[in-house]
Structure 1
Amino acid sequence: MLPDLSPWRESRDFRILWTAGLVTTFGSFLTFVALPLQVKELTGSATAVGALGAVELVPLIVFGLYGGALADAFDRRTLVLGSELAMGAVALGLLLNTLLPHPMVWPLYVAAALSSALNGIQRPALDALLPRIVAHEQLSAAAALNALRWQVGGVAGPALAGVLLAYAGLETAYAIDLATYLLSVLMALRLTASPPGHDAAKPSLRGIAEGARYAWGRKDLLGTYAVDVVAMLFAFPLALFPFLADQLDAEWALGLMYAALPFGSMLVSATSGWSSRVHRHGRAVLLAAAGWGAAMTAAGVVRNVWLVLFFLVLSGAFDMVSGIFRSTMWNQTVPDALRGRLAGIELLSFSAGPQLGQVRSGGVASLTSVRTSVWSGGLACVAGVALLAAALPQLLAYDARTSGYARAVREARGSRTAGTCQEDGDRPDPPEDAAAGGGPAGERPVDGAPGARA
């Protein structure tokens, strides 16, 4: 049940990234709570709060895809550092606006858009860096540890934000966020350089299209994107939390609501030793996404604030299970030469969904009610996941032990380590069993392989 600490013990760069990420995540969650609250205070509109997601969507799509191409063409360490500095500048802008005698609304939307664009540049580089610094067989453990880092910040950040916003004001939250960015940059300067392969192509629309074609040809991989988009689109009502707290006559619980999701995820990550023994990752993703929707439905139905918090914690736990196995499938099966571009597509799948989800939840709440928006979205999530399971049998059948794509990536990494294959950045040959019809579309069992539980 204990988390596997092998990546932490064996990779210096992983330790640096994990620690720097913990610092910046803590500060980011302060702003995560402060920004929608400030929009609510200045406008009093659920639609205006939900519109933050709409403003973030276009930069996320454009820079997520282009950021993936950049990650395959340039030093990934440089991209991480540069985007981290720029995000610190955005935090500074929020602080200065808040210190004005009459803070303006439009800079809040500009900051949201800029943060989304910078995240689109940084996240693919971070994701593409991970398979280079962590052993292939330790990628599930690394995914769980990375999630645990995010969750520690996600629990402590919103909980502290509730206190800070009540007693110290918005400017304190933004100032702390700025300080965490500066500290994380100082830590990340110690990372080893991660240059592209010698034959890496320059960023281009053709390169982005190559990554999209690869993803489209991998129906198991495509399914992980679709499941996450459906789950977040229908059952991600974070924009409604300030209004839900008001309806429950529990304004004091706003910070706890934001902390409940990462706390549930943290419980899973802290007991994630079992995850390395799961091989049917697609089945685990589908079941967890359905559980997320069901728990969010319950959170919208119950009227006791403590029950609402319980079901939000349960939702976060299901989300973490889905996240661990989606990340494992991506990292274990995507060739290094395409890793940045595929990470850009992944970024869209797990980021565009929440942005659209905020717009959906705010719009439905305006037409019906806050609680109706929450529970109806949860039901729609469960129905959508069921339809995807029927439409994408390759995802349901995926098994890491028999996947030709996973074997090809594992063998390519082993060859590079031994110095007998191409350098990092070269794309391995297509897996033979996939070409013969025995890959993800028709898995072949391995003789003597033990059974697996999702």
Structure 2
Amino acid sequence: MRGMLADTAPLRNEHFRRLWTANIITVIGAQLTVVAVPAQIYAETHSSAYVGLTGLFGLVPLIVFGLWGGALADVMDRRTILIGTTTGLILTSAAFWAQAALGLGNVWLLLSIFSVQQAFFAVNQPTRSAVLPKLLEPKDLPAANSLNMTVMMAGAIAGPMVGGALIPVTGFSLLYLIDTITLFATLSAVVRLPKLPVEGAAGTPGLRAVIDGLGYLRGHPVLLMSFVVDLIAMIFGMPRALFPQIAHLNFHGPSDGGLAFALLFAAIPAGSVLGGVFSGWVSRVQRQGLAVVASIVVWGLAITGFGLAVGLADNTSRSLMLGIAVLMLVIGGSADMASAAFRMSMLQASASDAVRGRLQGVFIVVVAGGPRIADVAHGGAAALVGPSPAAAGGGVLVVVLVIVAAIAVPGFIRYRLAPSE
């Protein structure tokens, strides 16, 4: 049983342990803000169009500063970047709190603060991922990434539940204040890191550095494939844009939420948490490329099963089909967690230190951008053929396309974890 549970070997490293423990504290506060921002915008405007602007105001700085932040992380001392960006996140959270406490009620101010916060986040995340290979042995990276993802997904479940319960009672300002205070735990952890200069750092963090980082992928098809297969999995296999329609029309829930709605949205993060809890096996996998392909195939099959269960809901017991649909999403979430842990570990272990930050920046952009493209693709497909065929067909495409990609670049499935020196 111990071999099944999450591998905690990375926690023996004091620096990683402090970062991970701080993240447990910080992630709840961060998720409270994730809930509070759109809720406050809707409360002030009563317009879903304004709420939708969070996607634009969040995605643009995420792409721009994700790529530039990765280039910055390949030039500057990474500890210095983490201190600066964590301080920036604290200040933006404090700004959220101040505008709510003062009752300013200006949606454009709120969106502007959100955009600045996402810019700091976009620089912080690739830098944070790039430091792990400097702290841990390559064999410990899959377990470390699984531990980090488990905390993030647990926060994605707990944060909205806590935030949804607190907003009607306390208002928005308390949630922002909690986020501000909990971020000091992360600041304390990064301040205590050793200096983390970049090996072989050269040049300046400008457009040329970003282009050079992308050019690095052309000569490393295995790393390029790690992005390609993730885009396949997310663009064709992430049906979250269909959840409101499915919950309302197929499972006869209310149009503004309800149990089916909540279960569908919570299922994938819940699967990721379960996958993280029982992730002891990931540290024993040597053929990580093959493991990524297998994980994405399971994801695609699970989404196909989800779509079929949705389609059968009108012809048999809706509660039974809802249970099967949720189970399929849970299985998919577990597979996605494994895929992400292996892909990030391959990037961290295989890329040279001089480009590691830029590649982590690309990773952040792909992870954030893929599901947003999926929202558009699935929404359009559902309008033409209905939500069930759109979801099931997307799952089938994931399986077919990832197998084709693996055959096209056989070096990816032959990739093995390098032995520790």
TM-score (norm 1): 0.77
* Contact 1:50 1:361 (C-alpha < 8 Å) held by counterparts: no
What's 1:5 paired with? 8
Q: Deviations for 1:106-131, whole angstroms, at most 9, x for unmatched residues?
A: 44543443333222211121111100
Unmatched 5+ residue regions in structure 1? 401-405, 415-454
Aligned letter for 1:274? W
1:386-425 → structure 2 map (5 Å cutoff): 386-400=403-417, 406=418
Picking from 374, 388, 399, the partner of 1:357 is: 374
Distance in 2, matches of 1:166 and 1:241, equals 25
| Structure 1 residues 196 and 37, CA gap change in structure 2 (3 angstroms) | same
1:263 matched to 2:265? The reply is no
Picking from 91, 97, 101, the partner of 1:89 is: 91
Picking from 333, 349, 359, the partner of 2:350 is: 333
1:278 matched to 2:285? The reply is yes
Distance in 2, matches of 1:239 and 1:111, equals 26
1:381 matched to 2:398? The reply is yes
Distance in 2, matches of 1:70 and 1:195, equals 12
Q: Deviations for 1:364-401, whole angstroms, at most 9, x for unmatched residues?
A: 5677766666555444434442442343322223233x
1:362, distance to aligned residue in structure 2 (A):
5.2
Aligned letter for 1:126? R
Distance in 2, matches of 1:103 and 1:242, equals 28
1:289-304 → structure 2 map (5 Å cutoff): 289-300=296-307, 301-302=309-310, 303=313, 304=319
Distance in 1, matches of 2:306 and 2:173, equals 31
Picking from 118, 121, 130, the partner of 2:123 is: 121
Aligned letter for 2:334? A
1:322 matched to 2:339? The reply is yes
Distance in 2, matches of 1:13 and 1:152, equals 22
What's 1:343 paired with? 360
Distance in 1, matches of 2:242 and 2:14, equals 41
* Contact 1:261 1:312 (C-alpha < 8 Å) held by counterparts: yes
* Contact 1:60 1:352 (C-alpha < 8 Å) held by counterparts: no
Distance in 2, matches of 1:61 and 1:152, equals 25
* Contact 2:75 2:201 (C-alpha < 8 Å) held by counterparts: no
* Contact 1:39 1:49 (C-alpha < 8 Å) held by counterparts: yes
1:76, distance to aligned residue in structure 2 (A):
1.0
Aligned letter for 1:278? V
* Contact 1:160 1:255 (C-alpha < 8 Å) held by counterparts: no
Distance in 2, matches of 1:359 and 1:168, equals 35
Secondary structure at the aligned position of 2:355 is classed as: helix
1:33, distance to aligned residue in structure 2 (A):
3.5
What's 1:231 paired with? 233
* Contact 1:20 1:188 (C-alpha < 8 Å) held by counterparts: no
What's 1:154 paired with? 156
Aligned letter for 2:83? L
TM-score (norm 2): 0.83
* Contact 2:300 2:399 (C-alpha < 8 Å) held by counterparts: yes
What's 2:316 paired with? none
Distance in 2, matches of 1:296 and 1:213, equals 33
Q: Deviations for 1:178-212, whole angstroms, at most 9, x for unmatched residues?
A: 33223332343222222334754332333323222
Report which stretch shifted further, 252-261 or 368-377: 368-377
Q: Name the % identity.
A: 36
What's 1:30 paired with? 32
Distance in 1, matches of 2:373 and 2:286, equals 31
1:134, distance to aligned residue in structure 2 (A):
0.8
